Chains A and B, each alone.
Chain A
């Protein structure tokens, strides 16, 4: 039997970045081959958020000194329970519960005003993108139904035809969000202005785009990923 460290004695999934930039995921073996199998009964701890952000986005959130410049310029700040500087603080404090409980992460428009103005170059917009990815991968997301429906409908359109049909996007969105009657009244005015081509465009590379999306999805499932449970690491070992 090869190296087997069941559970995670070190408190967290590790990753090793080699010099060529490739990242190796998973529990780093710390037991010599042939050594006695150790069984750690402590519960697996998820990777700390700050470490996750550093690993995936190459950003050190500890540089944030809470000046609040990001929140001051944030167009969605007034509607967020946690404006950007709170998100930065809670990321550093590893407070998943509060970060993922509300919808603040999903109210970010990625307008990048925060990142443009951050005096410490911490790039809050990129941190929020990374946190959204993680929350979605862990199923911890609390994206408002409409926002999630929009993003899903958008990607579904690209997956289907390689291009975005705006008509298709709206129809998909309505089905997913339940907002069936939204903007129905303006459809005739849109049509009259020639703004709603009803036939989706077909491109030769549609299959290629679909394949790109599948590859990225697979990669995300393995990387950004789920908390390292014994099952998850077992799956990784299989590869």
Chain B
């Protein structure tokens, strides 16, 4: 499978580990990614606030480029980029006058033929392959002891007429990916609540309030880690966590969905970029290793007891 790839601006900056782990996972799963040549910013958090047409035209330029470069599907791993690109596809298809106006503004031909894929759709589609690979690995999988809260945020599920690949209130696609990795999705309440998004810089107090509520709920519901699929959500939950007063609780690691899949596939840790996180993930991995050891010891004990029982039975007869 080969897809056009729209990295978006954050993937080359604050969310480098998202791109690193994505490229590692894509290579492992035989997904070819061809970066759209000369892509530009989608306008994300600001263009649509200023001007509706600009909010459509900026992402549409990239769709037009992908089209000209012969792509029929484009992967947009950043949730904000995904939302803007999908939104442009929808606006051009549905809003009166847009289909004619946008190519004029872009001064490029644009037939609106490219489909935009989110990372969740891609990985959910690959879940059977991931599951097979995970089952084929010989060593015991420490991820079996990992409880993960799948955090969707806003932009992957809303508005439903733009995203539409999963339920807007109780989506399940990320849980499928978690299960394919042999980890355990937890049932929690904040999966589609907003983290404060683009107010990270301009109104940090609101972001701390909203992100804190998400982390608290994940902890209450028994999660060892939160799973994110958006650079902005990750920054708010991971980078901003240091500024939240956590009342002595241990920090909550926040993993990118591609990092989890990379772990499940047994890719080298160095290719997944965990060292770039602000919340240290080492205690989590140590905890998983301990749990795996404990489980192995318990299994060995059970096997020994069984053998002893069988031996005693053989002796008695």
* A163-B41, A205-B40 given; A113·B206 CB < 8 A: no
Chain A 161-194 interface 0/1 with B at a Cβ cutoff of 8 Å (1 = within): 0111111011001000100001100100110011
Do the beta carbons of A217 and B197 come within 8 Å of each other? no
Interface contacts (Cβ under 8 Å), in number, total 174
Chain B 206-234 interface 0/1 with A at a Cβ cutoff of 8 Å (1 = within): 10001000000000000000000000000
Say yes or no: is B201 at the interface (Cβ < 8 Å to chain A): yes
Q: Which of B104-162 contact A (CB under 8 A)?
A: 105-107, 154, 157-160
Say yes or no: is A149 at the interface (Cβ < 8 Å to chain B): yes
Say yes or no: is A33 at the interface (Cβ < 8 Å to chain B): no
* A158-B40, A212-B54 given; A197·B201 CB < 8 A: no
Give the residues in chain A near B204, CB-CB below 8 Å. Answer: 182
Do the beta carbons of A220 and B38 come within 8 Å of each other? no
Say yes or no: is A34 at the interface (Cβ < 8 Å to chain B): no
Do the beta carbons of B43 and A158 come within 8 Å of each other? yes
Say yes or no: is B47 at the interface (Cβ < 8 Å to chain A): yes
CA distance A191 to B277 in the complex (A): 12
Interface range on chain A (Cβ under 8 Å from partner): 35 or more
Say yes or no: is A40 at the interface (Cβ < 8 Å to chain B): no
CA distance A200 to B43 in the complex (A): 16
Say yes or no: is A101 at the interface (Cβ < 8 Å to chain B): no
CA distance A178 to B54 in the complex (A): 27
Say yes or no: is B10 at the interface (Cβ < 8 Å to chain A): yes
Chain B residue at minimum C-beta to C-beta distance from A206 = B40
Say yes or no: is B77 at the interface (Cβ < 8 Å to chain A): no
Binding site for B on A (CB under 8 A): 17, 20-23, 56-58, 75-76, 79, 107, 109-113, 115-116, 123, 125, 129-130, 132-133, 136, 144, 146-147, 149-151, 154-155, 157-158, 162-167, 169-170, 173, 177, 182-183, 186, 189-190, 193-197, 201, 203-206, 208-209, 211-213, 215-217, 219-220, 224
CA distance A219 to B53 in the complex (A): 9
Do the beta carbons of B197 and A166 come within 8 Å of each other? no
Do the beta carbons of B13 and A216 come within 8 Å of each other? no
* A75-B210, A150-B201, A166-B13 given; A115·B49 CB < 8 A: no
Chain A min CB distance to B247 (Å): 21
